[in-house]
Chains A and B, each alone.
Chain A
Amino acid sequence: NAGVTQTPKFQVLKTGQSMTLQCAQDMNHNSMYWYRQDPGMGLRLIYYSASEGTTDKGEVPNGYNVSRLNKREFSLRLESAAPSQTSVYFCASRGSLGQPTYHQAFFGQGTRLTVV
């Protein structure tokens, strides 16, 4: 049982380049989230998906897009990377109604992104 898997673990981009961060969970969770973590700022919610086929903006959505491809996968896309998007990105999924882990969020190991 892998939990939440993020790829890649590290990435360096040049300003203006695009890339997609991948996230997959194998716990049959309905809800999935993308956060960015910056020193002194905690985790800030970028986008979330309450269920397959739905996505909603979080606290800091500008410059990002997401796709909930199916129940397992939730990807985050940077169309034109900027140095301000240098951060550590975390994907999470959350236990669904009826599951013992209802409400509990499970996190991936993070993607460390540097934009130069």
Chain B
Amino acid sequence: AQSVTQLGSHVSVSEGALVLLRCNYSSSVPPYLFWYVQYPNQGLQLLLKYTTGATLVKGINGFEAEFKKSETSFHLTKPSAHMSDAAEYFCAVSEQNQGGKLIFGQGTELSVKP
């Protein structure tokens, strides 16, 4: 069975500071990994994904994440936070088969202070 754990339900950073959102996964098979962002009263949007190949993936809005198999982690980072980054972020995992389950973590709410 697959599962995702996001460490920290709420993270607060100052504008311009590093953003680090943590995600660890459990999967019995090689996973596909995703980060999604949700703005208030909206659905989720894809930030980035890891499927195969390079373990450092870049996404939209300056975010990136690194797949570390040995640590079963897929942490999300951004060098310099912007006020517009305030939102809820979700890590997700799926199996490498078409149409398989897509399982989400509990979410991390990011606040950005001026």
Query: Which residues of A are in contact with B by a Cβ distance under 8 Å?
Result: 4, 30-31, 33, 35, 40-45, 48-51, 56, 58-59, 90, 92, 94, 96-97, 103-105, 107-110
Question: Are A31 and B98 in contact (CB-based, < 8 A)?
Answer: yes
Are A105 and B102 within 8 A (Cβ)?
A: yes
Flag the segment in B12-20, B39-47, B63-71, B72-80 that touches A.
Answer: B39-47
A51 CB to closest chain B CB, in angstroms? 6
Q: How many residues of B contact A (CB 8 A)?
A: 26
Alpha-carbon separation in the docked complex, A49 to B99 (Å): 7
Chain A residue at minimal CB-CB distance from B50: A103
Contacts of A107 in B (CB 8 A): 43-45
Instruction: Check if B49 is an interface residue, CB within 8 A of chain A.
Output: yes
Q: Beta-carbon contacts of B7-49 to A below 8 Å, as 1s and 0s?
A: 0010000000000000000000000101010000111111001
21 sample A-B contacts, Cβ–Cβ < 8 Å, listed by A number: A33-B102, A40-B9, A42-B105, A42-B106, A43-B44, A43-B107, A45-B101, A45-B103, A48-B99, A49-B99, A50-B99, A58-B101, A92-B44, A94-B102, A103-B32, A103-B94, A104-B46, A105-B46, A105-B92, A107-B45, A110-B42
